[in-house]
Amino acid sequence: MDAQDYMQLMSQTSVLLYTDERDIEGWPRKADLPYLLSRVDSWSYSGTVSNQSRYIARSFLQPYGTTEGTAALHLLKAIKDGQFRGYGRKDYPDEKDEILAWARAEAEKMGTGE
């Protein structure tokens, strides 16, 4: 699944659970940078994703869902870090500017600069 397929899926769900306790390594891929950079300013709805143990620890009454922009930032961070971690509605990468600068520089190296 590429990042665009993922974002389409998440536009149709509130929370996606995965059962493996480990973070997902090697996904998404650098090839997804241009698409994700095009979505960082989007306010369109996106669901959240969490591994099952993190989800169970949260209140079931808490509303889920975030924006495509927040989801895109998490996916860009995953590419930068080399592993994807789940994220919740209120989780927002503190290092947004650093993530975006890195992603834009990497996209430029690929010849697909934003």
Distance CA 5, CA 1 (A): 6
At 56, give phi and psi (nearest 5°): -60, -30
Predicted TM-score of the model (pTM): 0.81
Q: Is 27 exposed, middle or buried (0-12, 13-18, 19+ CB in 10 A)?
A: middle
DSSP class of residue 25? E
* pLDDT of residue 3 exceeding 90: yes
pLDDT 10s digits, 20-38 = 556 677 889 999 999 999 9
Give the bridge partners for 15, in sequence order. 48
Q: What is the pLDDT of residue 87?
A: 78
